[in-house]
Amino acid sequence: MSRTTPPSAAAPSRTSVEIATQPASWRRAAEAADGFDGLPRAGERVAVTGCGTSWFMAIAYAALREAAGLGETDAFASSEFPAGRTYDRVVAITRSGTTTEVLELLTALKGRIPTLALTADPKTPVMEAADSVAVLDWADEESVVQTRFATTALAFLRAGLGELPAALGVKSVADAAVDAELALTEPLPEAVVDAEQWTFLGRGWTYGLALEAALKMREAAGAWTEAYPAMEYRHGPISITAPGRVTWTFGPLPEGLAADVTAVGGTVVANSPCDPLADLIRAQRLAVTLAEAKGYDPDRPRNLTRSVILG
C-alpha cells in the first residue's frame, strides 16, 4: 500500500488493529509483573531510559514511582543519560531490542549498575546487554508507530509498583483496562476530529502521556501538535489557543484553565474519570483517523523506521 492510498473500510490499518488489543495486553502485563524478579524495589534509586515513545513512557513511570514514595526516580533519553550518576538500578525500554543508543548505554553500565530491559523481541542484542529482561512479546507490533507495546510496558511497570496511595488517584491496571475498552468504542468528538491544532497537557506522571499523544499525532498524521506540563500552558503556549484548536488534558484539569481556553474560542478535552493511560488510546485513535482522512498510511509514516540503528 502506498502512503497516499488510505486503507479501505473493509481493511483497517494494522495500527488500528494493534490499538484495539491494548486492554487484553495490559491485563496480561499485570499478570506478568506479579512476582517478576528484576523490577525496581522500594527505596532503590532508579533511572528509566529509552528513545522516542519509550522515553515518554519512562518519564511517566519515573514520575509515578517517585510520587508513590517508592524511591527517587529519574528519566532520561538514552543519548542524554548522565554517565557519572550512580543508581541502584537502571530500567531501559526498547521495543525492538536493537536501538543503538539503548544498547550503548546498557553496555556502558554492564557490571557497574544492575539493569532491566523491557523488550518485545527475545532474539535481539538487548538480551545480552541487560542483566535482566522482561520480554513482552505478546505486545510486539508490525506497525512502525508504537502504540500497544509502549502502553503495555508502562502497564507492566505500573503493576510492579503494587497498590498505590489513594491520594494519587491512580487506578489499578485491571480498572485501567476497563476504561481502555470504553476508549476504544466511544466516538471521538467532532470538534476534536475537525480541529487544525492540538495541544496535550499533563501533570506529574501524565505529562509523559501528553508528550506521547503529541508524538503519535505528528508521526501518523503529520499534525501540528504540542505538549506541556498543564500548569505551564498559561505561561506562553496559551497564546496559540483559538477557534479550531484543541487543548487536551490527561487527568484532572487545573482550576480555571478550561475557562481561560474557552474564553478565546478553544476546545477543551478532559476525561478525568477515565484512567489517563486509557485516555491515551483516544489520542492514538485520533492520530489514525486524521492520517486516513489525509490519505496517509498510518502503518508506514513518513521518514520513520521501526528501529533506529546508527552506524
**Band of the pLDDT at 111, cuts 50, 70, 90?**
very high
The rounded mean pLDDT for the chain is: 92
pLDDT in tens, 9-31: 547 888 999 999 999 999 999 99
Domain extent at residue 31: 14-170
Residue 298: its pLDDT value, please? 75
Nearest CA to 146 out of 22, 8, 11 is that of: 22
For residues 24 and 163, state if they share a domain: yes
Residues 191 and 156 in one domain: no
Average pLDDT of span 24-47: 97
Of 5-19, 43-57, 108-122, 254-268, minimum mean pLDDT range: 5-19
Same domain, 129 and 206: no
DSSP state of 12: -
Query: Into how many domains does the chain fold?
Result: 2
Tell me the β-bridge partners of 88.
none
**Does residue 271 or residue 126 have the better pLDDT?**
126
Distance CA 261, CA 88 (A): 43
The CATH number linked to 273 is 3.40.50.10490
Question: What does the alpha-carbon distance between residue 284 and residue 56 come to, in Å, rounded to a whole number?
Answer: 15
| Predicted local confidence at residue 304, as pLDDT | 53
Residues 6+ apart with CB under 8 A from 74: 46, 47, 48, 62, 85, 87
Residue 9, domain member (yes or no): no
Residue 178 inside a domain? The answer is: no
Indicate whether 180 belongs to any domain. no
* 163 confidence band (pLDDT: 50, 70, 90): very high
